[in-house]
A and B are shown apart, each in its own frame.
Chain A
Amino acid sequence: MIEAEGLSKRFGSVQALDGVSLWAAGGAITGLLGPNGAGKSTTLRILATVLAPDGGRARVDGVDVVSDPLAARRRLGVLPHGAGLYPHLTGRENVAYFGRLAGLGGARLQRRLDELSDLLGLGQFEHRRARGYSQGQRTRVALARALVHEPANLLLDEPAAGLDVMATRGLRALLGDLKARGICIVFSSHVMQEVAAVCDRIVILAQGRVAVEGTADEIRRATGEPDLEDAFVRATGAGAA
């Protein structure tokens, strides 16, 4: 479970986050939706402990991300925006590297690698060097890497960026799978349909603030727009005004 209260963050003269509060439950998918520059990546980076908030606090399974980042990271799998692989290592070696760093080894690591290979369908290409992978293959390996230490929480920053239709469908099915295993998933996107298709709850960000949040129905009701896309436009437009 992930909770954040009043997160704020400033880069120079830009107030990237201005009091963002949200929560995401285990066994559910929470979508962070918003136009570019709304603060989605900054929020996820604070949750992932690579950025420190100027104000507010965030907890992962009750562990504070600022006071105990290592313990928080142990409970987190992170797929940052544009996450890259090591091109000279094979897909499996890429995942194994992160597994070893997280403390796995020997037969246990190999078992976990096999599991992930089945779960994400890496079998076809995991023994090839990552240099020649397609975007879809890269994303799947990067996801396996984020999941290698069996985190209970998963942060995905624009995971669908650059994926074709089939790969996007595969990702959607996978997120459903992970959700069924009780994992708490937070994922960001600027594409409404993507979020609507998989998310249980949606948090719409605009200009560093939470414009509106809730289930799709709740958002429709709150904005008075029967169409979710209109609701998104109204919500973010209201934030801009």
Chain B
Amino acid sequence: MSAWLVVLAKEVTDSLRDRRTLFAALLMGPLFGPLMLAAIVSLTVERSLERSRETVELPVIGLDRAPNLAQRLRAADLLPVVFEGDMAAARAAVHSGRERLVLRVPEDFGARLAAGRPAPLELVRDSADREGAEAAARVRAAIAGWSGRLAAMRVQVRGLSPDLLAPLVLHELDVATPASRALLFLGMITYFLLFATLMGGMYLAIDATAGERERGSLEPLLSLPVPRQALIAGKLAATTLFMLAALALSLAAFAASLSVVPFAELGMRPNAGPAVLAGVFLVLVPFAMLGAALLTFVASFTRSYREAQSWLSGVLIVPTVPIAFAGIVGLEPSPAAMLVPSLSQHLLVTELLKGAGVNALHAAISVASSLALAALLALAVRRRYCRESILGV
């Protein structure tokens, strides 16, 4: 067996026997993202459903002056209750937050309504209060609906068409397809996948230098009649292998969470069939190789396991930077964007999840640029291993 395969086999055996590595790499990393996603989506769904169904109490001054009002409000899930006090008291109550809204029916409301003149209603609200804004919108809609009906009836009584009241109509057309709306949430998946991938190999990368050095096994290893590049190749291969295993588990967990999470309730249809998942895996393979080389390189500069751990935790955040940037400026896939690792994978995975299919040229550039950078970093690791300072003397 060639030396790099011996190293690979040993690193895999060693890591599989280490509960801490297993837990972090193959359990926590892959499950973190899907659980977060499931929690966020479920919460959003629950809240939006709850809010639209919930009956809101609405304190009203002079409720008895408008007998039909109570009925109209109830139809809009608003429960009118009598407010004891005058307008000043209402203002103070809303300002202090004791009441969200107070509706006032003026004394002359009935008279003006009967006379066919505009009958005013007054709503006291705090525009800084977001939940109040939702209730206020409901009140507005209920009053507008009532007003519209009254207007139509009055026009009809005079022998005219109610259409006269609507010279212009604005129809809104929402072009978001269910799948692309789901992207808002599915967009998070890319980062969770990259995170899980890196986490999968983090402990192996630390072990490759800082761990071996701290344990005192690095010096005997380097004294063996084995070329350094064989040792590095084996260690990088083991790290990559663990990263890919974490990625595969993570994808499986996402697929499972998508079938449980009530996406349909939000009008979404995530695109995550076996073919899409396989495509996402393949797109991320070069990223895993790059990640293994990067983490091993960074870890080689640290003096202890702990130091390596804190440095690498920082490195785990690096892939978010291009993704966040892409999100802010609304970057579209382009050949230039494919030159940036993590960004290119993010864009390609997003296309796949959208169900849009992947541009072959883009995929090729992404693979080539990530592999080129991985190779450069692997060479840098080799240089580190060939220096005396690798022993920490």
Residues of chain A at the chain B interface (Cβ within 8 Å)? 11, 45, 48-52, 70-71, 73-74, 76, 78-80, 82-89, 93, 97-98, 100-103, 105, 129, 142, 145-146, 149
Contacts and interface: CB of A to CB of B under 8 A. Distances in A.
B14 A48 contact: no
A169 to B, nearest CB: 24
Nearest to A145: B220
B216 A51 contact: no
Interface string B364-393: 000000000000000000000000100101
18 contacts: A48-B219, A51-B388, A51-B393, A73-B223, A74-B225, A78-B223, A79-B220, A80-B220, A85-B215, A86-B14, A86-B217, A88-B13, A88-B14, A101-B221, A105-B1, A129-B17, A146-B220, A149-B225
Given A45-B393, A50-B391, A51-B388, A73 B219 contact: no
B224 A101 contact: yes
A89 B3 CA distance: 18
B51 interface: no
Nearest to B16: A88
A88 B18 CA distance: 7
A97 B8 CA distance: 11
B1 A102 contact: no
B14 A98 contact: no
A88 B223 CA distance: 21
B222 interface: yes
Contacts of A142: 220
B216 A83 contact: yes
B10 interface: yes
A76 to B, nearest CB: 7
Nearest to B18: A88
B227 A80 contact: no
A49 B13 CA distance: 29
A45 to B, nearest CB: 7
B92 interface: no
Nearest to B216: A84
B167 to A, nearest CB: 80
B6 interface: yes
Nearest to A151: B225
Given A45-B219, A70-B225, A101-B3, 11 more contacts: A51-B391, A70-B227, A79-B220, A80-B223, A86-B14, A89-B10, A100-B1, A101-B6, A101-B226, A103-B225, A145-B220
